[in-house]
Structure 1
Amino acid sequence: MDIEYIKDNYKFETLTEKHDLSNFECGSDDLNDFIKNDALNQQEDKINITKLIICEEEIIGFVSLLTDTIPLKNIRDENIRLKLKPHYNEDVEKVPKKKPLPAIKIGRFAIDKKYTNNGLGSHILRNVINSIRKLSENDVGLRFIIVEGYASAYNFYAVHNHFSNLKKDDELIKDKLDRIIQQNPEQTFYLYLDLKKS
């Protein structure tokens, strides 16, 4: 299928037992195993919800979302940390840095390997982000989107889609990311997106 056609015609459908996932292959055993064996059970147990990305009845990818928090101390921008501290209704100087801030977590996100490396993943992710932004503006208070992304997907999230890594990972990413990707591409890094800045 043509990528531009997919961008104009895909839709999101909530995963059900009726969906045939047998042909889906994203190149990651972990993500393939999740969508084929774990996603529906977790959804039924209200752990997360998985939306399939479908075009012309073909499963192009999926995204799994759940609620989470991000500790205040993990926000890179000190101005944002200082601005958010007073919302705890405590003495600003005594607020623990690990106080949790509301977030939505992208638990899993994958595109079938037939359709990767052409901008489709970023296009879909932007729509997911926009949906979460609308939710935050109209239905529930949340400020951040977080993801525990694979090292191999670091550039996808951080460079192409403006997520920030945690400050504690700066040196590791700067000095060792290429080696980590070669040796352990599924090592994870926490990244976040501030909905007020994106």
Structure 2
Amino acid sequence: MSEYVCEVLTKKHNRKDFDCGVEVLNDYLVRFASQDVKRKAAAVFVFTASEESSRVVGYYTLCATSVELSGLPEEAVKRLPRYPQVPGILIGRLARDVGHPGLGRLLLADALSRCARSAKEIAAAVVVVDAKDKSAADFYSRFGFISLPKMRSRLFLPMETVQKLYSS
């Protein structure tokens, strides 16, 4: 990841030139991301190319969420507390610039690593993503995310799995 730097979104970052090919994700970064940071609605992390430290080439957002226990597959429920809802971390948006193929994997790895570190101090039983389309769902599935039976576009990964991947 040495050719990229991950940072919290600030005013120094050029968001206007970002293009992931999905207008709603481009628009979010330009128009709403900094507001979400200010209002504590989401933490926004941006990747910049190390030689161009202000140009955003990828980003993801994280925020707290909860998942209905009854909505999870039975095999996942066995290892979770028996509360109506279990706490989680939502990767709300994840996008890479079209000029940086392969960066999506690094964005996801960084987000999951951050989730694993956070879960050591703030309880979270799952990491959740909302796939925008089938292509996005397939991307997350390749990394072990499991579709929720009642909401196919929402996928999750048990925090136990994430922490095993990133234990050090």
TM-score range, shorter chain: 0.7 to 0.9
Q: What is residue 74 of structure 1 aligned with on the other side?
A: 71
Correspondence list, 1:47-196, <5 A: 47-55=41-49, 56=51, 57=53, 58-76=55-73, 78-86=74-82, 88=83, 99-116=84-101, 119-137=102-120, 139-151=121-133, 152-158=135-141, 160-169=142-151, 189-196=153-160
- Which of 22, 35, 44 aligns to 1:28? It is 22
Distance 1:80 1:22, change over 3 A: closer
Consecutive aligned runs of 4 or more in structure 1 exceeding 6 Å deviation? none
Over residues 28-73 of structure 1, what are the superposed CA-to-partner deviations in whole Å (9 max), with x where a residue is unaligned?
Answer: 0000000000111111111111111112223220011111111101
Percent pairwise identity: 27
SS in 2 for 1:19: coil
TM-score between both structures, scaled by the size of structure 1: 0.74
Q: What is residue 166 of structure 2 aligned with on the other side?
A: none
Distance 1:50 1:27, change over 3 A: same
Over residues 106-143 of structure 1, what are the superposed CA-to-partner deviations in whole Å (9 max), with x where a residue is unaligned?
Answer: 11110001112xx3311331121012112112x11111
SS in 1 for 2:40: coil
Whose strand fraction is larger, Structure 1's or Structure 2's?
2
SS in 1 for 2:87: strand
1:12 Cα deviation after fit: 1.4
Q: What is residue 185 of structure 1 aligned with on the other side?
A: none
Distance 1:79 1:44, change over 3 A: same
Residues of 2 paired with 1:67 and 1:79: CA distance? 23
Q: Which runs of 5+ in 2 are unaligned?
A: 163-168
TM-score between both structures, scaled by the size of structure 2: 0.86
Residues of 2 paired with 1:124 and 1:48: CA distance? 16
Larger Rg: 1
RMSD: 1.7
Whose helix fraction is larger, Structure 1's or Structure 2's?
1
Residues of 1 paired with 2:79 and 2:57: CA distance? 40
Q: Which runs of 5+ in 1 are unaligned?
A: 1-6, 89-98, 171-188
Paired amino acid for 2:107: I
